[in-house]
Amino acid sequence: MRTLLSLHDVGLQFGAVRALAGVNLHLQAGERLALVGSNGSGKSSLLRVLHGLLRPGTGTVQSATRLRQAMVFQRPFMLRASVRNNVALGMWLAGTRWRDACGAALQGLERVGMQGLAARNARALSAGQQQRVALARAWVLRPELWLLDEPTASLDPHAKREIEALMASFAQGEGGRAMTMVFASHNLGQVKRLASRVVYLEQGRILADLPVGEFFNAQRLRQVSGAADLFVKGELA
Amino acid sequence: MSTFSQSAATALHLITSFDPALWAIVGRSLLVSGLACLLAFGFGLSLGAWLGVARFRGRAIGLTLLNTLLAVPSVVVGLVVYLLLSRSGPLGAWGWLFSIKAMVLAQALLVLPVVAALTRQVVEDTERAHGEQLRSLGAGTALRAAMLAWDERFALLTVLIAAFGRAISEVGAVMIVGGNIDGFTRVMTTSIALETSKGDLPLALGLGLVLLAVVLLLNALIASLRAWRQRVESGSIPIWAGSAA
């Protein structure tokens, strides 16, 4: 399996707050990696380091050459523009001509079932619809690596299911291309359904890094990290 | 009748009879302040948007200076422009002193900090909330500044009102660099000051009423734009009518 990204002893500090410390992580192509942990554990910081939005204070990040990646945020930012233009924006910023980007945007919207709303103001959409637009915006970039920061956290149950279904479908890969996905989530049910591997973070450190089957095996998890086991028990209680 | 009501009646007559002297002054005022705002908006918006997004050493000092310039009295701006444009000044060769150009320059310099500082605040707030997502899509500093300023265009209309209000209502700078020359550089505010000192209160009051009316009209226009924006954002008006297929 091809290694897409490798983090070696990565540390990140915001003033006196330690966001990440001694993080070692190797991400293989085709993996669906879930980042779990309580608020402030470093999930979002780790995603941002993986995407290059934050530069680690210590350690190194190595990525495969020309790795195409896209990130989806918990609350996507929509410009005061049409849905189509919001999707086309990502491609245009990546260097595609605006006309071509608009054509691709319509395909992206079709992919997420939003083609009928292309002309609508993106700000007028519901949170779930905006998240689908954000997924389309990422999809048109044809990323090999998807980074998703709690993409369903602020959504109602129906929208949550829709977004999760799309994530599952993207994770299957398209056109013979393996999709790699890293997502942060508080929803352990979602982690079980979507992830192939789970990383548990606490105070910026990785305390457990296991295949999903082992992570949800209480005995195995307890062997690796008592704190992670307590977290899972607490979340499932 | 009191002096005020007499003056008000005469003022209304001057306005409704389209008194050429009054409307020439009004037109000149709008021209000077309009051009000054246009200039200040061009530079101030770019500067403010960039300051809202860019991070560099000395930025905090720059912002403090910019905010300090918000409180600069118009007579000081007038004096500086006067010194620059006076015959012995560095820009004396331009021959702009006591001309409309000098007044436009003075007012533009007066409102530039207003535009830049308020734009910086609006853009910086949006950048803090959403800039990261634009960065994740590959937008650099200049592009982010432009996109966020464009995205906040309706909020920036308020900045335009503030700038225009400051420009059209100031008297010190245009008096110094324009000289209040009748039929040439006399504008509403300098005229009000002069006519009041001469005791011609009706004309002074008429100009004052027109000044208020202009600002009221501008506010009404902006309010309509805001209402339209709310309708667009609530989804009742599509942004474009193109086929989605």
Look at A53-67, A92-106, B204-218 and tell me which has the smallest mean pLDDT.
Answer: B204-218
pLDDT band at residue B227, thresholds of 50, 70 and 90? confident
Spatial contact of B62 and B51, defined as CB atoms under 8 Å apart: yes
pLDDT (mean) for A3-18: 94
Beta pairing class for A58-63 and A205-211 = unpaired
CB A81 within 8 A of CB A122: yes
Q: Can you give the pLDDT at residue B1?
A: 52
Ramachandran sector of residue B199 (left: φ over 0; alpha: ψ -120 to 50; beta: rest): left
List residues of A whose CB lies inside 8 A of any B CB. Answer: 48, 51, 53, 70-71, 73, 76-77, 79-82, 84-85, 89-90, 93-94, 106, 109, 115-121, 123-125, 137
Q: Are the beta carbons of B240 and A53 separated by less than 8 Å?
A: no
Taking contacts as CB-CB distances below 8 angstroms, the residues of chain A near B143 are 93
Superfamily of domain A3-68+143-236: P-loop containing nucleotide triphosphate hydrolases (3.40.50.300)
Contacts of B241 in chain A (CB under 8 A): 119
At A119, the pLDDT band (50, 70, 90 cuts) reads very high
Nearest to A147 by CA among A57, A58, A55, A31: A31
Q: What is the pLDDT of residue B243?
A: 43
Task: Fill in the amino acid letter for B160.
Answer: L
Domain range annotation of chain A: 3-68+143-236, 77-142
pLDDT for residue A78:
94
Q: What does DSSP assign to residue A144? A: S
Three-class SS state of A176? coil
User: At which residue do the structure tokens 């606490």 appear?
Assistant: A202
Q: Which pLDDT score is estimated for A216?
A: 95
> What integer is the mean pLDDT of A175-185?
86
> Which residues is A121 bridged to in the sheet?
A82
Nearest-CB residue to B138 (from A73, A94, A124): A94
pLDDT of residue A187: 92
Amino acid at B22: L
- CATH fold, domain B19-190, is MetI-like fold (1.10.3720)
Q: Contact at 8 Å (CB) between A201 and A42?
A: yes
How far apart, in Å, are the Cα atoms of B35 and each of A186, A226, B32, B41, B159?
55, 70, 5, 10, 16
What pLDDT is stored for residue B244 in this prediction? 40
Interface test mutation site (partner A, options B128, B133, B143, max chain A beta carbons within 10 A): B133
Q: Buried (b) or exposed (e) across A150-182, using 16+ Cβ within 10 A?
A: bbbeebeeebbebbbebbeebbeeeeeebbbbb
Residues of A in contact with B153 (CB under 8 A): 80
Strands of the sheet with A180-184, listed across from one edge = A69-72, A145-149, A180-184, A32-36, A197-202, A205-211
More confidently predicted of B25 and B11: B25
Say what the pLDDT of residue B215 is. Answer: 83
- What's the confidence (pLDDT) of residue B241? 46
- Partner-chain contact B151 A94, CB within 8 Å: no
User: Is A119 in Cβ contact with B239 (below 8 Å)?
Assistant: yes
